[in-house]
Amino acid sequence: MGKMAARIKLLAKTTASLEEIELILRAEHADPFHILGMHLVEVEGKSAVAIRAFLPRADHAWVLRGQDEGSVVPLQRIHPNGFFEAVFPGEQAMFPYRLRTEYAGQHEFEDPYRFPPFLSDFDLHLLAEGTHHNTYEKLGAHVTEIAGVRGVAFAVWAPNAQRVSVVGNFNDWDGRRHPMRVRGGSGMWELFIPELREGEIYKFEIKGRYHNYLGLKTDPFGFYTELRPKTASVVYDINRYTWHDQAWMTERSARQGLNAPVAMYEVHLGSWRRAPEENHRVLNYRELAEQLADHVQKMGFTHVQLLPVTEHPLDESWGYQTTGYFAPTSRHGTPEDFMYFVDHLHQRGIGVILDWVPAHFPSDAHGLAFFDGTHLFEHEDPRLREHPDWGTRIFNYGRTEVRNFLWTSALFWLEKYHVDGLRVDAVASMLYLDYSRKAGEWVPNAFGGNENLEAIDFVKRFNELAHQCHPGILTIAEESTAWAMVSRPTYVGGLGFSLKWNMGWMHDTLQYFSNEPIFRKYHQNNLTFSLLYAFNENFVLVLSHDEVVHGKRALLAKMPGDYWQQFANLRALYAFLYAHPGKKLLFMGGEFGQWNEWDAAKSLDWNLLDYEPHRKLQELVAELNHLCRAERALHEIDFEYTGFEWVDSHDADNSVLAFLRKGKTPGDYLVVVCNFTPVPRQGYLVGVPEACFYREILNTDDAKFGGSGVTHGAGRQALPLAWHNQPCHVELTLPPLGVIYLKPQR
């Protein structure tokens, strides 16, 4: 003690421990409440109250006792670096007080170190257990009132920290000013800063126990963040907004059930549309709400699916390298603005699905990586920690608090922002320990296999919680392997997702359509193979953003042939997509035939709608969406073999396919006939179930869609002569590069 005391040149006597004073001065005290604030002490054998404060900028300081302005007691400067104390002899109980300082004027304020803990023992128990699924209500920054005083309650998990402080403009980013209290062995740190207001920017300064680590971290539970490239969190109250989407929320379960029409419009908000008259600035959430709802409603899509809107520092990541798992990106406005966005789309009858990324996170110094001077959120072993494809970190799904952090994030978006579903990115990279790794670069599981057992358990529980807490929502897996039962309930051994992206269908179908028509007869199986597994999962057929970047070309540019044939091919592709079993997804720009690859740094080429072929292609997509909604045969049985029947899949020489799509009601079906060559085929017989009149409800070669006009007028009468294993047949003229839908009229 003598050596420690010798280093401190005290100016007055103090009731405090000299060792603790030095820890406060060095910002190393793990429990600042033990020395700062009000304490019952003994002075010369008699009871007293001591009030201590660390005020490094103050020239002078006082204690204001209670509400009596006359009870002003000077604080004695104990150390020249700003440690103060006032002793009240004879006092035997605590009393309310405020502090006053003099530095460039006088300032009066509440002492943060006079307030009690706000995390309850039950909160700490649930947090440690991993069952506190509203963690966002406790951790992070919350505008609240404690002991009749308004302020902000801060809490963060950093179990390997020696000291954690809240820093911001309000304390000159000085980590000595507002050190937090640690709650026992829980690793949870908390501090109520009275009179702090919404809008303050802040971070957590974390001093680790090892290797002199000192980090400045964005709040993992922060609701709002500064606009990049700045990275501080912003205090924000997310509980003010008044929702007006009760009708949608009541009907949601029915509107996105497995037997409902679901056609998703995939959107990157930063590049969907910009404001060219204002130097091509990005639109804010409220502008996007109005304009996107108008477009989606006109086009007939049922949902928008947003590339990640969770906060991210790098535009080029498109949002897939998340730092703010509870913060909508500030690129487009405030959290309340995003609530308005979702609310407005709901009021217009449009669902909102978010991309959510629990598979990995970036290594940015201000984010989750090496959070408290240890690999807290990620694995310590680099073979488990590093994602080889993206240079990111992989979550440690075996750590209870990490799992709970991610589950809580998912439930947060469903609860606070009323989103209708989560599409989980890169699920395959979570499920396999050897994903994108060579031999020797991965660690087998306890049984010697390559399955990530902890991640599998995490995914299953995520789906159980999401569906249990918010019945009727959708969870969608981007899973690119043959993992079994991805979209089957966990109680039968599945992963529990509602839907799974059909990556195989996307790859095979685009490969087929990229071939010159003369060679397509050798690749007929590219289109028919998907029906061998179409009902193994609840599939979404996707033409997503991944297929129109990095040199893959836009959908229209993938199509072979001359200008007319390219449009005809794309029309045929879209009609085949909407006729095939499964829910639908189309990336923005595809609906009007964007020529250029998607560029996240600029707007879609909306000027293309000045040209007739693009306008007419857009009309076709709108008509397909209308038919998908109106015709139960196109959506009612997407995931069972009873909703589909081949009429003819063998005419590869002519590149023709014919099949039935069926609804649940007997006799409710459509006949779909596809000709994927530019050769019209006259007198082509197609087997049909009935000798009735078949109305042509869609023909992609119709002139109104930009086709050559080879149509059947109202339709054709079927004859009672068997063909294609059907009791009747209809004689058609198959349009070039065309798809037709026929509906029986009895």
Catalytic residues: 425, 478
Which whole-number Å values give the CA distances from 360 to 52, 319, 321, 409, 499, in the listed order?
Answer: 44, 12, 7, 14, 21
Preceding peptide of 229 cis, ω within 30°: yes
Neighbouring C-alpha atoms within 13 Å toward the C-beta of 518 = 1
CB 311 within 8 A of CB 638: no
* Tokens (6 digits) for 666: 């007997």
d(CA 350, CA 261): 12
φ and ψ at residue 46, rounded to 5 degrees: -115, 150
Residue type, 611: Y
Instruction: For 581-692, list the strands marked E by DSSP.
Output: 583-587, 644-648, 656-662, 669-675, 681-688
Q: Return all residues near 27 (Cβ < 8 A) that are at least 6 apart.
A: 163, 165, 175, 176, 179, 207
Contact 22, 170 (CB under 8 A): no
- The amino acid that residue 334 corresponds to is T
What value, to the nearest 5°, has the Cα angle with vertex 41 and ends 38 and 42? 155
Tokens 């063909």 -> residue: 723
- What is the C-alpha to C-alpha distance for residues 239 and 93, in angstroms, rounded to an integer? 37
User: Which residues fall within 8 angstroms of residue 372, CB to CB, at 6 or more apart?
Assistant: 158, 159, 160, 161, 164, 206, 208, 213, 215
Q: Let me know: does 395 contact 360? Beta carbons within 8 Å.
A: yes
The rounded Cα 232 to chain-centroid distance in angstroms is 20
Cα-to-chain-centroid distance, residue 658: 39
**Separation of alpha carbons 358 and 438, rounded Å:** 23
By DSSP bridging, strand 76-79 and strand 681-688 are unpaired
Contacts of 182 (CB under 8 A, 6+ apart): 30, 31, 161, 164, 188, 189
